A and B are shown apart, each in its own frame.
Chain A
């Protein structure tokens, strides 16, 4: 009798393990083959060779790019000395015309901060206004500016230790979340994500889109009046979704993704190793007929590690974590 029990347990647990391994294999995209195609003529943008992980666009089509190389003047200079930027977001004040840039800063000594800057177009400089830190902002990835000093931010992992974070990944633990900060207070707006990455807002401000990198989905939330988030649905992308750029004209989502997280990991360890890129367009994300179209795909032939794609008037700008910046014309009908 006990032998039978042992057998059943052994079979059940191996099935469970095999199933988890299969899920991991799918999540890493190791078995995937990536094909090449572009929507038009593409070329690298000179001067952006050390990554362009996030791109934030203003309504007039001005793009801020967060990169390993710092090109815009940051004032005061002291801020630059302790500055490792990650996600960025633009806040445009309709009345005053002021343009603010919110930047996630992985400062020295594992300090997580949000830096708020004012952009001065005449001098091409960012004037530092404020640094924001809070216990609930502990593993920041991306940021979505909502007001002068209020925002949503994604914490991509729950723990901060190297091995515990690895365990969170390998066990696909859903401990990542989205936090809302305003006036010194922060609350968890959404949780249960596996790896919350990019966050973006719909043109009307009613929907918040969050990329879950490991699950390969874009999560859609309704934004309530009190700024809490109500989960609406998932859009499956079947790729490691990184950052989302919303086209203000159409409400389309343009998503930067990594077809193979496995090859991306190799590339991040060794920047000379190629990995693929992918940009997808999601039409009608909140509606009945969601349409997902692959607008750009690359097996590592040209562009490595696309994290974001932003569309503006028949042009597509594709940023990467650690590689170059690509500009493509979009010759296809949209």
Chain B
């Protein structure tokens, strides 16, 4: 009898142990986060409801999305629901000026309630700057395309793109004045289904391409396709998968579908990607412990670790990964994005603040 019990017990214990540990390893509970900075860092004043995504122009103008309200599926802390969605501007040539809120025309966009998430930037050599904003509008997810009017520091709405294929949009990568790639971070719609999708690690998240008129699926099979970036050459596309803890490197085919080349494992909850236009380096905002970030969203007092990674030679066979910033949550919780311009670093978070650092270590 005892041997029968053991025969049952051992595999049961193993299964329980494995399923208890596996998601925890995936969610990053096992790694202790050590604090370190690349130089002097300070919080940017006036940003209290997150800075989920940051993109910058070639001359150091950073656009920041703030005030994202976490969806009900995450049981968010009521404090976050007081947030008002906005787009902020931070000039990395003049960091002492801090952030300013950008005017948006028409006003209805803001008064209706802007739910900004990921950002994409289109910049051409004629000087036109377009900001693509993932908007969790109350009527459904859409991508709003704005023209940035520099002298008046305002965003002029051009068009809103809605499509059945854009249903759980996280980030957007502009590829033309009206064209873009977008990530859908989940397949399911219902909150309980999204939770299950994450916990079971179902790989149903995808990347969609919009050519200006129609949308199509460009790649799928992601656990959580989060962010998307492309080097200046435009032939490759990088997509981060938060739960699989890596960046996928794709070759962009003529029909805009994506062909997987290789994967860059990062062993952390990868969030937003930014490309340095001068060097091609990938700047990565990440969550060393995704489960702590989720807890932080449920309760703002719960701290979540933060991390910024730099990937050199991302397109090559042997990318080099350096950790530029790490924090256990006491200085910054839930980092999502990072941009660098001229040894100046900006780090954004889901629902916390915005951090500015002067980089003193050699680059």
Contacts and interface: CB of A to CB of B under 8 A. Distances in A.
- Chains A and B bind each other: yes
A23 interface: no
Contacts of B321: 35-36
Nearest to A18: B17
Q: Which bucket holds chain A's interface residue count? A: 20 to 34
A7 interface: yes
Given A18-B17, A40-B361, 13 more contacts: A6-B1, A6-B2, A11-B13, A14-B13, A31-B25, A31-B31, A33-B267, A37-B322, A293-B34, A295-B36, A331-B360, A331-B362, A333-B39
Interface stretch (B3-11, B74-82, B225-233, B273-281): B3-11
Interface centre among A18, A33, A35, A291 (most CB of B within 10 A): A35
A95 to B, nearest CB: 41
A6 B32 CA distance: 38
A294 B2 CA distance: 50
Contact of B40 (A33, A36, A333): A333
Contacts of B322: 35-37
A199 B31 CA distance: 27
A294 B362 CA distance: 17
B309 interface: yes
Contacts of A15: 13
Interface string B6-27: 1001100100010001000100
Contact of A3 (B1, B32, B268): B1
Q: Which bucket holds chain B's interface residue count? A: 20 to 34
A238 interface: yes
Interface string A310-334: 0000000000000000000001110
B361 A38 contact: yes
Contacts of A32: 30-32
Nearest to B37: A332
Given A33-B267, A37-B36, A293-B36, A333 B360 contact: yes
A63 interface: no
B258 interface: no
20 contacts: A3-B1, A3-B5, A6-B1, A6-B2, A6-B5, A10-B2, A10-B6, A18-B13, A18-B17, A32-B31, A35-B321, A35-B326, A38-B361, A40-B361, A292-B34, A294-B36, A294-B326, A331-B361, A332-B38, A332-B39
A37 B361 contact: yes
Contacts of A280: 34
A10 B323 contact: no
Nearest to B324: A37
Interface string A290-303: 01111101000000
B35 interface: yes
Nearest to B307: A35
A189 interface: no
A294 B10 contact: no
